[in-house]
């Protein structure tokens, strides 16, 4: 049993309630927000609370008194009589062991909770059940009392069907959003690699978009020795029950760059060539015959109030006119050029020349990128993303590199990935063994604001697909793991359908937005000074937001 740290104080103007209570404690007693405390209550029950606010007061009635007692402002003066001081703490009620929610009584002893009591109070699963989200530390300032507890979440509330989708927010760099997401995915892959082979009904696969530098292009390589400490190994292996090894079953897809090197990626030529030689990497292309139906994805972030670009894409996708006989991108560009010529007799109500010229201007630069090719040579480790992703198997991680592509092409490729997984789970892709399709496919994308932000045009095909996934993904088996710097910039229907929210370090301007209005002020203040590797996490099964930490990544990170 942990030691008593204070007693309940129910005052005339500040009573205890069914929601919160106050207790006094010694001024030298160190507690912290998120610490769980226990109070013995009626009928031998126990009420648990979580620390929210800590205040220090003395018996000095006003500031003038402190000034006078220091010999009228003498900074070197000594107190003749020290004022009486104490700390008083506000705690939010979590649960009562017998569901007795009569307010706790004045004078009741307040003590530190045991590890099992903390799990019960916060709604945490027992060790090594569910998927790991990290760990929490209580009473960390005293090694003899410190409690470190692994946090696991029931898979039903992380990837469905009870709740699904994860959103991570925080400022660039310090928030380590990508690292935290990959930590969660590592724990999931480890768990699923150690289930019986006949558990196909629970199978999971992962599609990861690399949007920044070389962040995610070395997932199967061990970290440098100075990047990974013995403490990290102990946290993975002993506390969290995760094998501290790099990811398994990883495939990489790099944008085709032509015959000279790999100018479309930040990865080095040597790295890509080594992965290709090992059969882990492929160069993806888009051909006119197979991919003209995705041309609308190029206009995902283009305002099209009159739907003229959408109409042109429909003409092309349905093969009207000469577009149905074209076999390559060069012929396609010439046909578009023909439609841009004035003075040619056209049918009534046909799309105007000005609209075709706008269409040509928008597609001209993207279509000159080498990823738009005439054919795919499979014997040269080339692939179509749609064909490759439709063959994804349980526990595989498919990394699609788009970091060096311009914003228009990034949207195009990401939209293709989203559409492919969506069609796969709906059974709209032929020649696929449905029994081998993973029951859950998790898609991770950073910088979600580019594709589902409040400023994205409402007619964006990518936004429509993301909305469909977040609203119906639980039943389809598609789960979105996403990250962005500012949560307030994301479409309300997207973040509103996320069951799990992780808040990293952010700034006061962001915290003033309505997305944070329901978070207690003390937690919001903590968000401005969270350290790297630290998040405040919310999930429906947790009784309170949790201050979660996680160890360093198990894979090599390029600098």
Residues 22 and 118 both lie in one domain: yes
User: What's the Cα-to-Cα distance from 262 to each of 166, 214, 271, rounded to whole Å?
Assistant: 33, 13, 10
Instruction: Give yes or no for residue 347 having a pLDDT over 70.
Output: no
Residues 380 and 426 both lie in one domain: yes
The pLDDT of residue 522: 83
The pLDDT of residue 559: 66
128 lies in some domain? no
- Partners of 253 in the β-ladder: 282, 400
At 345, is the pLDDT very low, low, confident or very high (cuts 50, 70, 90)? Answer: low
The pLDDT of residue 342: 78
Residues 417 and 482 both lie in one domain: yes
Residues 246 and 389 both lie in one domain: yes
Mean pLDDT of the chain, nearest integer: 90
Residues 95 and 31 both lie in one domain: yes
Give the C-alpha separation, 61 to 351, whole Å.
80
539 lies in some domain? yes
Give the C-alpha separation, 14 to 18, whole Å.
13
Residues 410 and 508 both lie in one domain: yes
Give the C-alpha separation, 113 to 115, whole Å.
7
Instruction: Give yes or no for residue 346 having a pLDDT over 60.
Output: no
Residues 278 and 295 both lie in one domain: no
275 lies in some domain? yes
The 3-state DSSP class for residue 421 equals helix
The pLDDT of residue 348: 41
Residues 103 and 166 both lie in one domain: no
Residues 53 and 182 both lie in one domain: no
The mean pLDDT of 17-38, rounded to a whole number, is 92
76 lies in some domain? yes
pLDDT digits (tens, 9 = 90+) for 437-466: 999 999 999 999 999 999 998 889 999 999
The mean pLDDT of 15-24, rounded to a whole number, is 95
pLDDT digits (tens, 9 = 90+) for 372-402: 999 999 888 999 999 999 999 999 999 999 9
- Residue 152 CA, distance from chain mean position: 16
Instruction: Give yes or no for residue 310 having a pLDDT over 60.
Output: yes
pLDDT digits (tens, 9 = 90+) for 130-152: 899 999 999 888 788 889 999 99
Q: Which residues of 465-500 are buried (b: 16+ CB within 10 A; e: fewer)?
A: bbbebbeebbebbbbbbbbbbbbbbbbeebbebbbb
Domain boundary among 323, 345, 368: 368
Domain boundary among 326, 346, 368: 368
The mean pLDDT of 513-522, rounded to a whole number, is 87
More confident residue, 236 or 173: 236
Query: Domain containing 100: what range?
Result: 4-122
Give the C-alpha separation, 71 to 387, whole Å.
82
Residue 529 buriedness (CB in 10 A; 0-12 / 13-18 / 19+)? exposed
146 lies in some domain? no
Domain boundary among 368, 397, 427: 368
Contact of 110 with 6, CB cutoff 8 Å: yes
- How many domains does the chain contain in total? 3
Percent of the chain residues past pLDDT 70, beyond the cut: 96
First and final CA of the chain: distance in angstroms? 47
CATH number at residue 422: 3.40.50.300
Instruction: Give yes or no for residue 198 having a pLDDT over 80.
Output: no
Shortest CA distance to 493 belongs to which of 9, 165, 140, 75? 165
Residues 430 and 490 both lie in one domain: yes
Helical segments of 30-98, H only: 63-69
The pLDDT of residue 1: 53
44 lies in some domain? yes
Residues 277 and 298 both lie in one domain: no
Contact of 283 with 382, CB cutoff 8 Å: yes
137 lies in some domain? no
132 lies in some domain? no
Give the C-alpha separation, 450 to 300, whole Å.
10
Q: Specify which of 122-131, 504-513, 518-527 reaches the highest per-range mean pLDDT.
A: 504-513
Output the pTM of the full model: 0.90
Instruction: Give yes or no for residue 79 having a pLDDT over 70.
Output: no
pLDDT digits (tens, 9 = 90+) for 243-270: 999 999 999 999 999 877 888 999 999 9
Residues 293 and 279 both lie in one domain: no
Instruction: Give yes or no for residue 199 having a pLDDT over 80.
Output: no
Question: Largest Cα–Cα distance in the chain?
Answer: 102
Rounded to 10 degrees, the C-alpha dihedral 393/399/400/403 comes to 170
């Amino acid at each position: 049993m942990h030691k008593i740290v204070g007693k309940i104080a129910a005052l005339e103007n500040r009573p205890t309630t069914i929601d919160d209570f106050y207790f006094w404690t010694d001024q030298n007693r160190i507690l912290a927000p998120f610490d769980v405390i226990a109070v013995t209550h009626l009928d031998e029950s126990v009420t648990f609370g979580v620390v929210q606010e800590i205040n220090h007061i003395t018996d000095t009635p006003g500031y003038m008194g402190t000034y006078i007692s220091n010999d009228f402002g003498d900074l070197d003066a000594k107190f003749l009589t020290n004022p009486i001081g104490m700390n008083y703490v506000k705690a939010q009620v979590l649960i009562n062991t017998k569901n007795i929610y009569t307010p706790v009584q004045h004078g009741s002893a307040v003590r530190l909770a045991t590890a099992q009591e903390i799990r019960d109070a916060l709604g945490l699963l027992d060790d090594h059940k569910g998927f790991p989200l990290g760990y929490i530390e209580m009473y960390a300032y005293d090694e003899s009392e410190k409690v470190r507890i692994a946090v696991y979440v029931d898979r039903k509330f992380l990837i469905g069907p009870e709740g699904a989708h994860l959103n991570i927010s925080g400022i660039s760099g310090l928030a380590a959003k990508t690292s935290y997401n990959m930590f969660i995915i590592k724990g999931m892959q480890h768990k699923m690699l150690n289930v019986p082979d006949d558990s196909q009904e629970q199978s999971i696969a992962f599609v990861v978009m690399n949007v920044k530098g070389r962040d995610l292009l070395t997932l199967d390589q061990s970290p440098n020795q100075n990047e990974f400490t013995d403490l990290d190994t102990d946290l993975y292996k002993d506390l969290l029950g995760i094998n501290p090894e790099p990811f398994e079953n990883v495939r990489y897809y790099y944008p085709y760059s032509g015959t000279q090197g790999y100018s479309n990626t930040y990865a080095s030529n040597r790295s890509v060539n080594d992965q290709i030689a090992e059969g882990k990497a492929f160069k993806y292309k888009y051909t006119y015959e197979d991919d003209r139906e995705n041309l609308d994805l190029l206009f995902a972030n283009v305002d099209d109030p009159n739907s003229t670009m959408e109409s042109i894409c429909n003409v092309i996708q349905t093969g009207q006119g000469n577009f149905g006989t074209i076999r390559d991108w060069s012929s396609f560009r010439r046909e578009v050029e023909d439609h841009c010529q004035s003075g040619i007799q056209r049918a009534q109500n046909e799309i105007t020349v000005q609209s075709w010229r706008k269409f040509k201007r928008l597609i001209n630069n993207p279509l000159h990128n080498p990823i738009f090719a005439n054919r795919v040579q499979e014997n040269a480790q080339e692939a179509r993303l749609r064909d490759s992703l439709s063959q994804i198997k349980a526990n595989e991680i498919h990394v699609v590199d788009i970091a060096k592509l311009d914003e228009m092409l990034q949207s195009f490729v990401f939209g293709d990935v989203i559409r492919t997984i969506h069609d796969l789970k709906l059974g709209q892709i032929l020649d696929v063994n449905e029994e081998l399709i993973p029951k859950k496919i998790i898609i991770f994308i950073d910088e979600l604001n580019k594709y589902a932000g409040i400023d994205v045009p409402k007619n964006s095909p990518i936004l429509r697909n993301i909305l469909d996934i977040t609203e119906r993904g639980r039943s389809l088996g598609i789960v979105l793991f996403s990250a962005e710097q500012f949560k307030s910039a994301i479409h309300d229907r997207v973040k509103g359908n996320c069951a799990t929210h992780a808040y990293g370090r952010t700034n006061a301007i962001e915290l003033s937005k309505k997305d944070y209005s329901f978070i207690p002020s003390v937690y919001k203040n903590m968000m401005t000074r969270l350290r790297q590797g630290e998040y405040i996490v919310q999930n429906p099964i947790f009784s309170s937001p949790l201050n979660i930490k996680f160890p360093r990544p198990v894979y090599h990170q390029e600098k």
